[in-house]
Structure 1
Amino acid sequence: MSEHWSGERSRYGKTIKVDHGIKAKSQRGDIATTWWSQRFLEVLESFGMGGRLTRGRNYARQGQVLSLSLSTSMVIALVQGSRPTPYKARIAIKSFTTPEWQRIEHALAGQALYAAKLLAGEMPRDIETLFAGLGLQLFPATSRELTMDCTCPDWEVPCKHLAAACYLLAESFDNDPFEILAWRGRSREDLLDRLRALRGTTRSTVTREEAPPLTQCLDTFWHRQTATGIPLGDPTAEVRPDAVLDQLDAVPITIRRDNLVDLLRPAYQALAGGDAEPE
């Protein structure tokens, strides 16, 4: 600890308590609850910050953080310490470039389930694999990708003010996984708009043959196929009773962690098998 810091501490005394700060929801044990926020803290610990991070846990739980704002590449927190004026803690990360985001968006648009899970408040488990396939990292791979600074006189990084901000940032990731992507350069609204546009473009480019008049195709009508190769009404084809569910876009609804479509499949299968009792 520097002499400058010792002098500041003796001059200003104990930490000034705050009544209306942002308190961590978890008051004991781990603060992060989802795999992706835990992963964020694990990354920080892997940079050798683990011991210093714990210094800010009590600050986060006591509500010493007055505000926390996230924008592209930057998180800014105002943290009340022992001085009358709150300290400003900043956590910066390199955002993805425009060409990199274009590649990410095309990859996400090709997997409707990713957007569905994000809308349901869940980060897909294998999304890091998707980023790795593009030669990118969703979470910082090295400490050089992160920049942390605080206006307090403590020279340690992270100081307890920065550490408190990291814990609350992890909790914000718990609540909305889109914030991780926003920190990397794409807001929730912009990303969803681009994914909708890409998926709409993909669908509109599917070429379809102009259907001939019915009188010219009576012999082959029941064997015709769509542009995607799916049989339409072939009476000799064996079709699963729940196959219609596969034609739906991903439904972002889960019940006790089970997707709604998966919960509907047994009902379709039971009805087709005659297991349903007559009214």
Structure 2
Amino acid sequence: MTRHEDDMERTFAALPPAHGRGFAQTWWGQAWLKALEGTALDSAQLKTGRRLARAGAVGAVSVRPGRLTAVVQDRDRTAHRADVLLEELSPGQWDRFLDMTAERAGHVAALLDREMPPHLVEDAADSGVELLPGLGDLEPECDCGAWDHCGHTAALCYQVARLLDQDPFVLLLMRGRDETTLLEDLQARSGASTTDSAEPEGVDAAEAYAAGDILPPLPDLPGLPGGPGRPPSLETEAPPAPGIDPAALSFLAAQTAVRAHGLLRGALQGDLRATPAQDAVRLAAGDPGREVADRLAEGSGRGREGLATAVRAWRHGGAAALSVLDEEWRAEGETLARARAALESAWDTGERPELRARGNRWTVAGTPVQLRLGRDGRWWPYRKERGRWQPAGGAAQDPATALASATAPASAELAPGEGNSL
């Protein structure tokens, strides 16, 4: 079921100025900005775009399949029409995405909660559907005559990152389907899967043995399963043997299934990287319960507070964020030059904070706020809480955006073993 493109247009009122906050708080909003910042050839235009977006210079944003449009005003009030194009998904890609999503109730529930969990995007990619834009996918058009991203199209992209934070259906609309159509298609697929009575696959065993002189063709090799397997229940009437903790075993079995699925995906993609230290933090981030969390804290050598900090880092960015937490290194040569250039261009002269550098860490003078440079060139925000530096958000290419995350009010984050589910 599809609708005419004109019927799928949504218009969002101009947002207020964004002083003192980052443009993207969610991981998918940050991925959107990465597609912009990793492609634009002129960092000065990105800086202009951030300044215009923060000042509220972006008017109402029109979103429709394949295109974003807004009027952006320069400092002198000159208005420019800015458009950003994003390729729509093909009908075949939409069919694969809808089939995959309809099979997993958790994906539908997440979308209805206005969330886009990483496993939804990963499962879509496994189906051959890239939801988030990659480098070079955001194509600019502006009446100012620029052939690459200008300050106007960059400002539009920064503003749309805020819209994506609030509603990931904005991204799906750009890819070609509005919320109503998408949910109707999902409902139709879910209903068909429960009412259709498909013929059983395979051959009856008696028939196969009766035709023993005929060699049937071998089946195709199985592909990556749609999700991790479910371990068997360990609940029995017999009491556990001394030293055996059934709850811990159940948790580890479930986590092992998830890890095995991830390792298989990584092997198929040629990406197998993990260390025991990272694995301990990953397990703790799965809310294992207080007893298992205490054992992980002891076994990892981090202690309970150190593990809680490591879990916060992991939840902000996985292994990359954990490396930034644990490693302090000296930025030198070209790396240092790039870092200094990024810091110089991130703020206007009068707005630039006083930064004191040590290694790959820049602390804002007189404040409990810090920026850490990752080896991949991204900036990570940190905030000192109770005398300990704590991760304060995800990475950003722009140090000003990262710093805004560090200065925003701290959100409540649970340590391993705390909260209702632990």
Q: TM class, shorter-chain normalised?
A: 0.5 to 0.7
For residues 25-104 of structure 1, what are the structure 2 equivalents within 5 Å?
26-49=18-41, 51=43, 52-81=45-74, 86-104=79-97
1:67 and 1:79 in contact (8 A); partners too: no
Distance 1:21 1:116, change over 3 A: closer
Aligned partner of 1:173 in structure 2 is 164
Structure 2 CA distance for aligned equivalents of residues 50 and 206 of structure 1: 58
Larger relative contact order (Cα-Cα within 8 Å, sequence gap ≥ 6): 1
Distance 1:90 1:204, change over 3 A: same
Normalising to structure 1: TM-score of the pair?
Answer: 0.62
Alpha-carbon shift at residue 48 of structure 1 (Å): 4.0
Alpha-carbon shift at residue 96 of structure 1 (Å): 0.5
Structure 2 CA distance for aligned equivalents of residues 141 and 33 of structure 1: 19
Structure 1 CA distance for aligned equivalents of residues 413 and 171 of structure 2: 22
For residues 144-223 of structure 1, what are the structure 2 equivalents within 5 Å?
145-153=137-145, 155=146, 157-206=148-197
Give % identity.
Answer: 30
- Listed as ranges, the gaps of 5+ residues in structure 1 are 1-19, 208-236, 239-255, 267-279
Distance 1:170 1:199, change over 3 A: same
Amino acid at match of 1:39: A
Alpha-carbon shift at residue 136 of structure 1 (Å): 2.6
Alpha-carbon shift at residue 29 of structure 1 (Å): 4.5
Alpha-carbon shift at residue 149 of structure 1 (Å): 1.1
2:81 aligned counterpart, secondary structure: strand
Alpha-carbon shift at residue 196 of structure 1 (Å): 0.8
Distance 1:181 1:205, change over 3 A: same
Q: CA RMSD in A?
A: 2.8
Alpha-carbon shift at residue 46 of structure 1 (Å): 2.0
Structure 1 CA distance for aligned equivalents of residues 42 and 186 of structure 2: 37
Alignment length, in residue pairs?
194
- Listed as ranges, the gaps of 5+ residues in structure 2 are 1-12, 199-235, 238-411
Higher Rg of the two aligned structures: 1
Match of 1:116 among 88, 109, 114: 109
Normalising to structure 2: TM-score of the pair?
Answer: 0.42
Structure 2 CA distance for aligned equivalents of residues 85 and 69 of structure 1: 20
Structure 1 CA distance for aligned equivalents of residues 23 and 101 of structure 2: 29
Aligned partner of 1:274 in structure 2 is none
1:44 and 1:50 in contact (8 A); partners too: no
Structure 2 CA distance for aligned equivalents of residues 42 and 167 of structure 1: 11
Structure 1 CA distance for aligned equivalents of residues 421 and 49 of structure 2: 48
Alpha-carbon shift at residue 85 of structure 1 (Å): 5.7
Aligned partner of 2:241 in structure 1 is none
